[in-house]
């Protein structure tokens, strides 16, 4: 058989001596890639009757779908960028100006490649309405490339959250939507670049608001909330399908009312409705025992997120966080003079490794929790989050310790470990 390109098709790559992740299992099989897509070898052999133009020996590495981080507040490397989109003084970028937003996105998109992230949602926390209206139109959705990971859309975390469970969000900007979705539009303005929104489901007119978000194709998450289980269930029936950083910034599980944590086992939803939930598996935000509880109760809903902030990988010290100050001590980051955690300083590959270690879930589930599950939640699994035939060739190579050795977007190597 002739090479693919010799018969008028695109350049065909065959990745050999590898173990691929597909359908919850890791097994020995070659991976075929052409024109940025995962190819079906049966079609190549029996229909097109072509061979690979190039074979790549993968040295028995694991090939998995590229990671998708639904909650990145800042850049996980030595540079400083903050997606709160509030002026950050001398410690990062003021994303309220067009040039800084574009530069910040470029830096973040490139920086996360080393951690296996091929797509992500820049996360904007509670901010003034004027900031949303200026910035949201500028954080445009884009495909990944050698320049950096793809932007799936903005994750707006606030300002429609509970004041008591605000975490590191500035209280003075928190709002309600007593007049329904008109209040939402008044605060945000243009929603065309938004992929998901976190809100507190106990607020008045939440059902109406959730339904309107869903009509616009925006995923709704519940979080930063004092809601009881019944209020959470009502939100899910209205269309919400995600829980923002489970266990954090919400009422704890109680045997008489398990609150939002109880959504993991609720039987009050339509039969085809699945609830996903974010876990910050950084060894700080969520105790290993809590990780194990969530994993054993609802493994197919796990979505690993970083909630990374501007101080990630930086030395101990104090750093601006919007109009507030963050104190970093080791892996901990707190709002100054409080015991309130202010985001994470972990990368997504670290979270995957720690989750696999602490839960004993195995490599396959840990990797799917950072790839397949977020893609399912955003309804993009036809393109992202799998190695299924026809999917985008966004994938990573890892060793047996789940260290990222290479990152590929649309079949092109965009990062390789030294």
Q: Which residues are annotated as a binding site?
A: 157, 168, 224, 245, 248-249, 256, 285, 341-343
pLDDT at 390 over 70: yes
Q: Which residues pair with 404 in a beta bridge?
A: 398
Identify the CA nearest to 309 among candidates 71, 56, 130. 71
Separation between Cα atoms, residue 264 and residue 389, nearest integer Å: 31
Per cent of the chain over pLDDT 90 is 76
Fold that domain 2-64+401-416 belongs to in CATH:
Urease, subunit C; domain 1 (2.30.40)
Q: Where in the chain is the domain with CATH 2.30.40.10?
A: 2-64+401-416
Q: Which residues are annotated as a binding site for Zn(2+)?
A: 157, 224, 245
> Which range, 121-125, 290-294, 312-316, 335-339, has the best average confidence (pLDDT)?
290-294
For residues 379-396, give the mean pLDDT.
98
Cα angle 151, 261, 369; round to 5: 40
pLDDT at 77 over 50: no
Domain 67-385, CATH number (from 3.90.420.10, 3.40.120.10, 3.20.20.140, 3.40.50.300) = 3.20.20.140
Mean pLDDT lowest among 88-92, 121-125, 277-281: 88-92
For residues 73-81, give the mean pLDDT.
46
- Does the pTM surpass 0.85? The reply is yes
- The answer to whether 161 and 174 are in contact (CB under 8 A) is yes
How many beta carbons lie within 10 A of that of residue 337, not counting itself?
8
pLDDT at 288 over 80: yes
Per cent of the chain over pLDDT 70 is 91
Would residue 399 show up in a list of annotated catalytic residues for this protein? no
Which one of 77, 162, 282, 307 is the catalytic residue? 307
The pLDDT tens digits for 321-360 are 656 777 888 787 778 888 888 777 789 999 999 999 999 9
Identify the CA nearest to 77 among candidates 116, 115, 124, 106. 115
Q: Where in the chain is the domain with CATH 3.20.20.140?
A: 67-385
Question: At 120, phi and psi to the nearest 5?
Answer: -160, 165
Mean pLDDT lowest among 69-78, 288-297, 298-307, 391-400: 69-78
Look at residue 326 in the predicted model and tell me its pLDDT. Answer: 79
Look at residue 320 in the predicted model and tell me its pLDDT. Answer: 67
Give the list of residues 6+ apart from residue 179 with CB closer than 8 angstroms, or none: 205
> Which range, 129-133, 266-270, 289-293, has the best average confidence (pLDDT)?
289-293
- For all residues of the chain together, what is the average pLDDT? 90
Cα angle 379, 223, 216; round to 5: 40
Look at residue 322 in the predicted model and tell me its pLDDT. Answer: 59
Output the 3-class SS for the chain: CEECHHHCCCCEEEEEEEEEEECCEEEECCEEEECCEECCHHHHHHHHCEECCEEEEEEEEEEEECEEEEEECECCCCCCCECCCCCCCCCCCCCCCHHHHHHHHHHHHHHHHHHCEEEEEEEEECCCHHHHHHHHHHCCCECCECCECEECCEEEECCCCCCCCCCCCCHHHCCCCCCCHHHHHHHHCCCCCEEEEEECCCCCCHHHHHHHHHHCCCEEEECCECCCHHHHHHHHHHCCCEECCCCCCECCCCCCCCHHHHHHCCCCCCCCCCCEEEECCCCCCCCHHHHHHHHHHCHHHEEECCCECCCCCCCCEEEEECCEEEEEECCEEEECCCCCECCECCCHHHHHHHHHHHHCCCHHHHHHCCCHHHHHHCCCCCCCCCCCCCCECCEEEECCCCCEEEEEECCEEEEECC
Rg (CA), the chain: 21
Identify the CA nearest to 368 among candidates 68, 33, 60, 36. 68
Q: Give the pairing type, strands 404-409 and 412-416.
A: antiparallel
If one compares 315 and 256, the residue with the highest pLDDT of the two is 256
Give the chain's end-to-end CA distance (angstroms, integer). Answer: 36
pLDDT at 22 over 80: yes
């Amino acid at each position: 058989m002739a090479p693919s390109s010799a018969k008028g098709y695109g350049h065909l790559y065959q990745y050999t001596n590898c173990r691929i992740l597909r359908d919850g299992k890791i097994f020995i099989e070659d991976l075929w890639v052409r024109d940025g897509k995962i190819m079906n070898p049966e079609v190549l052999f029996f229909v097109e009757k072509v061979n690979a133009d190039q074979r790549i020996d993968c040295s028995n590495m694991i090939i998995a779908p590229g990671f998708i981080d639904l909650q990145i507040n800042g850049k996980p490397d030595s540079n400083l960028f903050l997606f709160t989109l509030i002026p950050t003084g001398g410690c990062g970028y003021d994303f309220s100006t067009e040039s800084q937003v574009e530069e910040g996105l470029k830096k973040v998109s490139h920086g996360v490649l080393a951690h296996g992230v091929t797509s992500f949602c820049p996360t904007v926390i509670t901010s003034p309405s004027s900031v949303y209206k200026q910035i949201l139109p500028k954080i445009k959705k884009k495909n990944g490339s050698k320049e950096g990971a793809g932007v799936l859309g903005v994750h707006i975390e606030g300002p429609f959250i509970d004041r008591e469970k605000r975490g590191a969000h500035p209280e003075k900007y928190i709002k309600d939507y007593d007049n329904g979705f008109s209040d939402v539009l008044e605060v945000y303005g243009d929603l065309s670049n938004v992929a998901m929104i976190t809100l507190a489901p106990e607020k008045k007119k939440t059902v109406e608001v959730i339904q309107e978000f869903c009509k616009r194709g925006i995923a709704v998450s519940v979080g930063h909330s004092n809601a009881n289980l019944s209020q959470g269930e009502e939100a899910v029936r209205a269309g919400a399908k995600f829980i923002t950083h489970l266990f954090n910034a919400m009422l704890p599980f109680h045997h008489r009312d398990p609150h939002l944590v109880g959504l993991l086992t609720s039987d009050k939803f339509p039969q085809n409705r699945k609830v996903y939930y974010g876990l910050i598996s950084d060894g700080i935000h969520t105790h290993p025992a809590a990780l194990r509880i969530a994993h054993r109760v609802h493994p197919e809903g796990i979505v690993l997120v970083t909630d990374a902030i501007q101080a990630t990988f930086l030395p101990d010290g104090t750093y601006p966080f919007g109009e507030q100050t963050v104190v970093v001590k080791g892996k901990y980051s707190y709002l100054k003079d409080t015991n309130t955690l202010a985001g994470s300083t972990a990368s997504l590959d670290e979270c995957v490794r720690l989750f696999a270690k602490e839960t004993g879930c195995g490599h396959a589930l840990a990797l799917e929790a950072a790839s397949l599950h977020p893609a399912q939640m955003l309804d993009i699994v036809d393109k992202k989050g799998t190695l299924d035939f026809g999917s985008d060739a966004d994938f990573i190579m890892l060793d047996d310790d789940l260290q990222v050795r290479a990152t590929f977007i649309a079949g092109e190597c965009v990062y390789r470990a030294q």
